[in-house]
Structure 1
């Protein structure tokens, strides 16, 4: 199963509603699909969205990294020698984690096909259904409450609420409005996307705790490189604190775990450089008794399918943030995971469980 070719295919799908966070506003999901073909004709697929403000990756940099740097090194390698392939992939270029992740996904797709197993079973097979939260993007308090109510009516029972824009008092008012609207039943987790300073975060979280807003966790309250600040917030609040942008690699994870700078870790394939490295992060976290969530960027169902296979395979991954495909105007991916409201069912086909003929149509459409 030697690699014969590696190709990139640009795609774009509009969102049904603008998605706003403390870092950016998104109206269209852009991505670069990666297609790896082996000498025996098997095809594996991966996805890399450009997320400049988090990973630094653009469509241009992803295309260059895959076609001009990674592909020449991997062509001719046998994917069955996985450690050789993944070692070469990770050493091929500094950072460029999204480009690496897309190639990694495609290789894992091929490995699952070779084994005759769905990828989640090849990786561990812990569960075959998971449940996603739904994200409430940043707007004024009334609009966010309206959105939250609609998502709960649609059957979601965990809301991930974006905060970190404007005054701390505005954030508290947003959460208060949402909690009053949806009641005490649904879980609410917050994502500040690095929008607070450490003391501001402690103040805001304390206010929410005192108000009985019952927040499940706070994700990345401070700047990604402020590990001292992350540790300060973790040590001075009761609400669990989750590291996201602070953890790209296993080395990053070890640093925050050794310092007990967080209570939870959010793993994203676009940060880790793919499933191979993400498994290392989860294993380290499990050793330290820290549970993980697997989340995503604004991606199509291709990238989310790969992330869901990872998440379903491991018992230490206990939270799932896979709502991005539900925000898109239409689904362009053939096969993969199936959404039944908040429930995600893993496909039983081999590898990622994609339908090859349907995926080929995407390629032809992009070429036109």
Structure 2
């Protein structure tokens, strides 16, 4: 069954909350790239690409150009079920950005699952297990941290990720405030690469006293020697996120013992098969996986959850809260739903979401 068209649409979605990324407010609206793949039988599938340039290096419109001018023309006419052939065609472009490629991969998985009449997780060999959500708190003031945690606890959240490093002088008080508000919750602290050795040493007693589960990405990606020396004295478990850009990074981190946990993100790997291979390798190397995400809508989160459902070595909690709390109404419903701060995959074919046809005209 051949692919007859690959079309794209960039949509602007209102943000219901203001969050902070690396100290900068994220508010107002967010552009998202959506992709539609159509086959000669009339079956269609949908995908999307994260549009935070601060993390991906691409805007939604830049990703759209990649799909419109490279990926779409390359795969049109190929058999949609021959995913390895499609992958080989795209591998002709070794510097193809991962996020737009991932958006097309999501759409291909969606259409193939729809053709078979099964949910995407069944197509990939996964399960419909539920996922406890982790809520990220980025506000600077300890009182704000406490207030947000109390509100989310009332909604069922029991796992929190505190963004740290932008205001290092407040981080100890922020961690303590979060533990006070959530005495039974799992707490993780994410620096997004902004920590210093001196800061970690100063903060270490608070991390131990407040029983922080793990510290994520203390230093910028690629600073392997710095990570190696820190592992020699740092008591808390370490997770790496931005450091993991592909299977080679997974192997290096595991073989060198640089982390206990690695965060994987579907958009960063370019396809579900690559993420599953990386997760399988991590398990062989004795590492656990954190199910990560960026700023995708419920479409991207549903596709990500379906992919992660194929892996066993995953720590509790995931980053899939964003479209259900921060992102406004995107113009469609369906897919995975949240009940009591747990993400639950549905039983509809594919991702369980249909995007409006008018978007792609």
Which residue of 1 is the match for residue 216 of structure 2?
219
Following superposition, the deviation at residue 124 of structure 1 comes to 2.3
Residue deviations 1:72-98, cap 9 Å, x none? 111111121111112323443515111
The question of whether the paired residues in 2 share the 8 Å contact of 1:301 and 1:333 is answered with no
Which residue of 2 is the match for residue 297 of structure 1?
294
Which residue of 2 is the match for residue 20 of structure 1?
20
Cα distance 1:74–1:314, how it changes in 2: closer, same or farther (>3 A)? Answer: same
The question of whether the paired residues in 2 share the 8 Å contact of 1:201 and 1:222 is answered with no
Q: After alignment, is 101-110 or 50-59 more displaced?
A: 50-59
Which residue of 2 is the match for residue 332 of structure 1?
331
Following superposition, the deviation at residue 329 of structure 1 comes to 2.6
What TM-score do the two structures reach when normalised by structure 1?
Answer: 0.92
Q: After alignment, is 113-122 or 46-55 more displaced?
A: 113-122
Gaps of 5+ in 2: none
- For the residue of structure 1 that corresponds to 2:139, the secondary structure is coil
Structural RMSD (CA): 1.8
Of 223, 244, 254, which residue of structure 1 is paired with 2:241?
244
Which residue of 2 is the match for residue 158 of structure 1?
159
Of 339, 358, 361, which residue of structure 2 is paired with 1:364?
358
Which residue of 2 is the match for residue 82 of structure 1?
83
Which residue of 1 is the match for residue 267 of structure 2?
270
Which residue of 1 is the match for residue 285 of structure 2?
288
Report matched runs for 1:1-368 at 5 Å: 1-22=1-22, 24-27=24-27, 28-92=29-93, 94-167=95-168, 169-182=169-182, 184-197=183-196, 199-200=197-198, 202-210=200-208, 212-319=209-316, 320-326=318-324, 327-354=326-353, 356=354, 359-360=355-356, 363-364=357-358
What TM-score do the two structures reach when normalised by structure 2?
Answer: 0.94
The question of whether the paired residues in 1 share the 8 Å contact of 2:74 and 2:89 is answered with yes
How many Å separate the matches in 1 of 2:315 and 2:167? Answer: 31
Following superposition, the deviation at residue 216 of structure 1 comes to 0.8
How many Å separate the matches in 2 of 1:336 and 1:232? Answer: 44
Cα distance 1:366–1:275, how it changes in 2: closer, same or farther (>3 A)? Answer: same
- For the residue of structure 2 that corresponds to 1:67, the secondary structure is helix
Following superposition, the deviation at residue 20 of structure 1 comes to 0.3
- For the residue of structure 2 that corresponds to 1:53, the secondary structure is helix
The question of whether the paired residues in 1 share the 8 Å contact of 2:126 and 2:307 is answered with no
The question of whether the paired residues in 2 share the 8 Å contact of 1:138 and 1:165 is answered with no
How many Å separate the matches in 1 of 2:338 and 2:228? Answer: 37
The question of whether the paired residues in 1 share the 8 Å contact of 2:254 and 2:286 is answered with no
The question of whether the paired residues in 2 share the 8 Å contact of 1:121 and 1:313 is answered with no
- For the residue of structure 2 that corresponds to 1:47, the secondary structure is strand
Following superposition, the deviation at residue 286 of structure 1 comes to 0.9
Residue deviations 1:101-132, cap 9 Å, x none? 10111111122223332111222234432211
The question of whether the paired residues in 2 share the 8 Å contact of 1:191 and 1:221 is answered with yes
The question of whether the paired residues in 1 share the 8 Å contact of 2:129 and 2:309 is answered with yes
- For the residue of structure 1 that corresponds to 2:328, the secondary structure is coil
The question of whether the paired residues in 2 share the 8 Å contact of 1:243 and 1:265 is answered with yes
Residue deviations 1:5-41, cap 9 Å, x none? 1111111212222110226432133210010111111
Cα distance 1:118–1:159, how it changes in 2: closer, same or farther (>3 A)? Answer: same
The question of whether the paired residues in 2 share the 8 Å contact of 1:126 and 1:314 is answered with no
